[in-house]
């Protein structure tokens, strides 16, 4: 990965090259390319090499019009772009991006498929253009000032620059507690730092900043085929295309996540077919062997039980199953895995930060890791909210057929009707009224550690409620909400990417596949009560039947209760630290967190009940991480 940095001034004398270089170097990276014309300073940095002597930075090569372009990431449709731009096959992505931006300006990124961030400076026009990809694969953060603008791939880099003011935003911290920060898509938890939302770009010229959007999910798109099997053929083609363009060259080592679900197995089996006979290493995360895992209907507690059935079908698949290390207090120290300055962690012990995959990738020499992330946004959407649309539009025969199919799978028709048809079909105000009649509080009161006064202010702005209505389809609205939420979270938590030796790629969020899946009829996902119907047909013959028919949900973090229990004393100490911070007291309901820890369940069985588990994970786990983030940002110990 390349770290991109730009500091543009409205006039000469604004840029301090030494301070900017120091901010970039504070990220632990080496500056490799630079451009400084007195108005604009552009730096591109990368990981330090094996030599103890850092290479001398090379000047950025300007284009024919004098513009300078920085690029990070990959363009997966590079061959198509090269032909369109009259470049030879094999032209590097950075050169393609530079040419496209020079010729097409703001219109260029709409034709790109990939994980990318690009910055272009045109000295003659004194204009800066920047853009990132549609699905949050590469971030750009910025700080706009009266005398100029600073952009960087990392929040840490901007925070290390003396021109960027410090301060935290209570509203965004509060929305983080209820997983709703995506409702303010260009804001970060830092008051002076914003970020480019997915599918967006910005143009800055002489102190004027303008954001523009070149892609968004389209709920009105319609894709219709004559025959049912044409949907399967088209989806299978797009899946193979999305995986193929993300594979490393030749027989280079490759690692892929493998769980018991349809998403990672779709990616892993497709990669194995495309790479055969080259080996494909897979990794499955398992719970601690000594952890007591109670029976949990509808959940797979140890994903290896299903994942191990897949490799025997593919001779070139090399499976690995690993246990994540137990978090220790050293992980909380400066420089530790859980010490974050850019954004609060989502969970007390986040899978992404203690997953053993990066260490395994390093041992294997794998520079690329494939995941099944985002499959529920595209190929494996379960489709059950289609029943709400059937009820709203009085398509009662189709609703009855789906409910009967759910009953044949052992589901309660009444529960399915209430949970997936009636309640979702109601307007948000009526849904909230029904909850109150049943004596249940709003979700933010029920599950989170959001301070009541702040929560009420956010609720007045409708920021803590369910997905807003955008179309005539409740199913489409929820899919778009999840796309925006997941892509936002990828950007917000992108800081961990810089500690990962491998490039994590997510084929199921390929924008071509996402656009295609959004345009399909609802019956392709829920058919006679059978959910994830499209994915099950696409993967038929490629997965063991037991995996293909699995209806339970896998849980990678199944031993969460044991991990939290052994840190109870530490959690109580964290509350005391948070209580010393006025901002933490403003954002968090600290008395509630304390009560939940003091009433800790005796064992994993009562802790696994949803009414107990969700407050422990959200209110205690996420609440403590937000509090810890606040007091550290304020200069507290740790």
Does the residue 342 lie in any domain? yes
Which has more confidence, 119 or 348? 119
Does the residue 574 lie in any domain? yes
Residue 71, classed as helix, strand or coil, is: strand
Instruction: Look at residue 298 in the predicted model and tell me its pLDDT.
Output: 82
Does the residue 394 lie in any domain? no
Give the start-end residues of each E strand in 410-537: 503-505
Does the residue 419 lie in any domain? no
Give the C-alpha separation, 140 to 148, whole Å. Answer: 16
- Omega into 277 within 30° of 0, i.e. cis? yes
Of all helices (H) and strands (E), which one includes residue 360? helix 357-364
245 & 128 share domain: no
* Pairing of β 194-195 and β 3-9: unpaired
Structure tokens at 423: 């309640």
Does the residue 87 lie in any domain? yes
DSSP class of residue 265?
H
The model's pLDDT over 454-478, given as tens digits with 9 standing for 90+, comes to 999 998 776 766 667 778 899 999 9
33 & 91 share domain: yes
Mean pLDDT along residues 98-108: 96
364 & 505 share domain: yes
* Domain C-terminal end among 553, 587, 609: 553
Give the C-alpha separation, 446 to 440, whole Å. Answer: 8
Residue that has been written with the tokens 């197995």 in this structure:
265
57 & 181 share domain: yes
The model's pLDDT over 207-237, given as tens digits with 9 standing for 90+, comes to 999 999 999 999 889 999 999 999 999 999 9
Question: What backbone phi and psi angles, to 5 degrees, belong to 463?
Answer: -85, -20
Does the residue 420 lie in any domain? no
The model's pLDDT over 47-81, given as tens digits with 9 standing for 90+, comes to 766 555 667 888 998 998 899 999 999 999 999 99
Contacts 24+ apart (CB under 8 A), 402-408: 402/526, 402/528, 402/529, 403/529, 404/528, 404/529, 405/527, 405/528, 405/529, 405/530, 406/529, 407/529, 408/529
186 & 270 share domain: no
Instruction: Look at residue 349 in the predicted model and tell me its pLDDT.
Output: 74
Give the confidence band of 295 by pLDDT, cuts at 50, 70, 90: confident
59 & 157 share domain: yes
Mean pLDDT along residues 100-123: 97
Instruction: Look at residue 263 in the predicted model and tell me its pLDDT.
Output: 96
Mean pLDDT along residues 403-412: 95
Cα distances from 545 to residues 19, 259, 297, 435, 542, in angstroms, run 59, 15, 20, 40, 9
Instruction: Look at residue 500 in the predicted model and tell me its pLDDT.
Output: 78
165 & 297 share domain: no
Structure tokens at 60: 């950025």
- Which of 196-210, 330-344, 368-382, 487-501 is the least confident region? 330-344
Mean pLDDT along residues 432-436: 79
Instruction: Look at residue 51 in the predicted model and tell me its pLDDT.
Output: 54
The per-residue pLDDT of the chain, averaged, comes to: 91
Confidence check: pLDDT of 575 > 90: yes
Does the residue 114 lie in any domain? yes
- CA torsion, points 516, 520, 522, 526, in degrees to nearest 10? -70
* Domain C-terminal end among 180, 213, 246: 213
In the chain, the percentage of residues whose pLDDT exceeds 90 is: 74
Instruction: Look at residue 52 in the predicted model and tell me its pLDDT.
Output: 54
Give the confidence band of 270 by pLDDT, cuts at 50, 70, 90: very high
376 & 525 share domain: yes
Instruction: Look at residue 49 in the predicted model and tell me its pLDDT.
Output: 60
Mean pLDDT along residues 308-318: 97
Domain count, the chain: 3
- Which of 232-241, 363-372, 426-435 is the least confident region? 426-435
The residue range of the domain holding 587 is: 560-633
Give the C-alpha separation, 486 to 480, whole Å. Answer: 10
Cite the DSSP H helix spans in 365-450: 386-392, 396-408, 413-417, 423-425, 428-437, 443-447
In the chain, the percentage of residues whose pLDDT exceeds 70 is: 96
Give the C-alpha separation, 173 to 378, whole Å. Answer: 29
Structure tokens at 85: 């731009």
Asked if residue 479 lies in contact with residue 381, where contact means CB atoms within 8 angstroms, the answer is yes
Instruction: Look at residue 336 in the predicted model and tell me its pLDDT.
Output: 74
Cα distances from 285 to residues 163, 213, 303, 614, in angstroms, run 43, 38, 7, 22
Give the C-alpha separation, 373 to 486, whole Å. Answer: 9
Give the C-alpha separation, 226 to 352, whole Å. Answer: 42
Question: What angle separates helix 170-177 from helix 623-633, to the nearest 10 degrees?
Answer: 160
178 & 263 share domain: no
Mean pLDDT along residues 574-598: 96
Instruction: Look at residue 618 in the predicted model and tell me its pLDDT.
Output: 94
566 & 527 share domain: no
287 & 183 share domain: no
Give the confidence band of 294 by pLDDT, cuts at 50, 70, 90: confident
* Domain C-terminal end among 213, 240, 267: 213
Asked if residue 284 lies in contact with residue 322, where contact means CB atoms within 8 angstroms, the answer is yes
Confidence check: pLDDT of 173 > 90: yes
- pTM greater than 0.85: yes
Confidence check: pLDDT of 42 > 70: yes
The model's pLDDT over 331-359, given as tens digits with 9 standing for 90+, comes to 777 667 777 889 998 888 765 555 778 88
Burial zone of 270 (CB within 10 Å; 0-12 exposed, 13-18 middle, 19+ buried): buried
34 & 112 share domain: yes
Residue 167, domain CATH: 3.60.20.10
Cite the DSSP H helix spans in 212-261: 228-244
* Pairing of β 553-554 and β 299-300: parallel
Does the residue 18 lie in any domain? yes
Give the C-alpha separation, 102 to 63, whole Å. Answer: 8
Give the confidence band of 194 by pLDDT, cuts at 50, 70, 90: very high
Give the confidence band of 152 by pLDDT, cuts at 50, 70, 90: very high
* Pairing of β 280-286 and β 299-300: unpaired
Question: What backbone phi and psi angles, to 5 degrees, belong to 126?
Answer: 50, 55
Confidence check: pLDDT of 429 > 90: no
Residue 352, domain CATH: 3.40.50.620
The model's pLDDT over 601-622, given as tens digits with 9 standing for 90+, comes to 999 999 989 899 999 999 999 9
Of all helices (H) and strands (E), which one includes residue 579? helix 568-579
Residue 387, classed as helix, strand or coil, is: helix
Question: What backbone phi and psi angles, to 5 degrees, belong to 374?
Answer: 85, 5
């Amino acid at each position: 990965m390349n770290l991109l940095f730009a500091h543009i001034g409205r006039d000469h004398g604004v840029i301090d090259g030494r301070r900017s270089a120091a901010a970039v170097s504070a990220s632990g990276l080496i500056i490799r390319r630079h451009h400084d014309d007195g108005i604009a300073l552009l730096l591109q940095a990368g990981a330090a090499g094996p030599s103890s002597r850092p290479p001398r930075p090379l000047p950025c090569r300007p284009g024919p019009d004098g513009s300078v372009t920085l690029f990070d990431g990959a363009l997966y449709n590079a061959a198509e772009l090269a032909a369109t731009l009259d470049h030879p096959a094999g032209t590097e992505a950075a050169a393609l991006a530079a040419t496209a931006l020079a010729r097409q300006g703001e219109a260029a990124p709409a034709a790109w498929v990939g994980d990318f961030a690009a910055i272009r400076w045109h000295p003659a026009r004194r204009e800066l253009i920047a853009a990132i990809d549609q699905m949050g694969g590469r971030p750009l953060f910025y700080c706009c000032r009266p005398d100029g603008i600073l952009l960087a791939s990392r929040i840490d880099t901007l925070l290390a620059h003396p021109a960027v003011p410090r301060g935290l935003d209570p509203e965004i911290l509060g929305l983080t507690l209820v997983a709703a920060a995506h409702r303010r898509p260009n804001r970060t938890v830092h008051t002076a730092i914003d970020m480019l939302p997915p599918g967006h770009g910005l143009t800055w010229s002489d102190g004027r900043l303008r954001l523009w959007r070149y892609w968004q999910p389209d709920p009105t798109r319609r894709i219709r085929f004559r025959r049912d099997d044409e949907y399967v053929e088209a989806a299978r083609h797009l899946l193979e295309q999305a995986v193929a363009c993300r594979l490393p060259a030749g027989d280079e080592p490759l690692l892929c996540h493998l769980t018991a679900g349809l998403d990672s197995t779709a990616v892993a089996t497709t990669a194995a077919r495309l790479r055969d006979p080259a080996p494909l290493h897979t990794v499955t995360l398992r719970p601690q062997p000594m952890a007591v895992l109670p029976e949990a209907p509808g959940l797979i507690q140890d994903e290896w039980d299903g994942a191990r059935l897949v490799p025997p079908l593919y001779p070139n698949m090399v499976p690995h199953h690993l246990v994540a290390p137990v978090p220790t207090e050293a992980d909380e120290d400066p420089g530790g895995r859980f010490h974050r300055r850019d954004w609060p962690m989502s969970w007390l012990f986040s899978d992404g930060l203690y997953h053993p995959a990066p260490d395994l990738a390093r041992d294997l020499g794998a520079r690329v890791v494939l995941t099944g992330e985002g499959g529920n946004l595209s190929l494996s959407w379960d489709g059950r909210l289609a029943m709400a649309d059937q009820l709203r539009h009085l398509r009662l025969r189709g609703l009855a057929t789906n409910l009967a199919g759910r009953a044949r799978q052992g589901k309660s028709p009444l529960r399915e009707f209430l949970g997936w048809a009636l309640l979702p079909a109601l307007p948000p105000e009526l849904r909230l009224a029904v909850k109150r009649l049943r004596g249940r509080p709003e979700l933010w009161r029920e599950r989170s550690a959001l301070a009541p006064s702040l929560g009420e202010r956010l609720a007045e702005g409708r920021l803590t409620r369910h997905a807003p209505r955008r179309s005539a389809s409740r199913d489409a609205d929820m899919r778009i909400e999840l796309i925006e939420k997941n892509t936002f979270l990828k950007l917000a938590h992108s800081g961990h990417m810089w500690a990962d030796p491998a490039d994590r790629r997510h084929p199921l969020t390929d924008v071509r596949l996402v656009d295609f899946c959004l345009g399909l009829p609802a019956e392709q996902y829920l058919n006679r009560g059978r959910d994830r119907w499209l994915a099950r047909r696409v993967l038929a013959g490629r997965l063991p039947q037991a995996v293909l028919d699995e209806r339970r949900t896998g849980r990678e973090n199944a031993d969460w209760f044991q991990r939290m229990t052994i840190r109870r004393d530490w959690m109580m100490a964290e509350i005391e630290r948070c209580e010393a911070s006025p901002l933490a007291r403003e954002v968090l309901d600290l008395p509630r967190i304390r009560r939940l820890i003091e009433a800790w369940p005796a064992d994993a069985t009562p802790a696994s009940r949803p009414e107990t588990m969700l407050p422990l994970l959200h209110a205690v786990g996420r609440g403590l991480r937000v509090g810890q983030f606040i007091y550290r940002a304020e200069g507290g110990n740790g």
